[in-house]
Amino acid sequence: MRSDAEVSIGDQGSVEGEIAARRILVSGQFHGSIEAERLEIAAGGRVDGDVVVGELVIESGAQFNGSSKIRGQEAPRQLGHIASDEGQEQQDSKKGKKGKATAEAEQAG
C-alpha cells in the first residue's frame, strides 16, 4: 500500500504487507515493512517487521519487534574543545609528558 497521506490501523485492525505513507498510526496489529516520515505505535498497538522512518514514536504499552532505521540520523559529534583537549592529552602521554599537577607533586615530594 502506498499513500501520500496518513494511514491508520484501528485497534481491531490487523494488516500484513508493506506500507509506504507520509504518516502511519498503528493502534492494532501490523506485520511487514513500513516506510514513512512518521510512524506512531499507539498503546495496545503492535508492529512486527522492519521500519524506515524519519520519526518513530512508541507509546507506553505499545510493542515493536523488528529493526528500525531513522532517516537522516547522524552520529553524535563531539564538541570541538573537548576533542582538542583529549587529542592533546593523548599526544602528551605518547611523548611521555606529565601533566602540570603530576609534575608539581613530584617536585614537592
Average pLDDT over residues 66-94: 61
Give me the phi and psi of 4, to 5 degrees please.
Answer: -90, -5
Q: What residue ranges do the domains of the chain occupy?
A: 6-70
The total of other beta-carbon atoms located within 10 Å of residue 15's CB is: 16
Residue pLDDT, tens place only, 11-40: 999 999 999 999 999 999 999 999 999 999
Q: Is 87's pLDDT higher than 80?
A: no
**Residues 97-107: what's their mean pLDDT?**
49
Q: What SS3 class is residue 65? A: strand
Question: Among 35-44, 55-64, 65-74, 92-101, where is mean pLDDT lowest?
Answer: 92-101
What percentage of the chain carries pLDDT values higher than 90? 61
Cell of 46: 503492535
Question: Which pLDDT score is estimated for 108?
Answer: 52
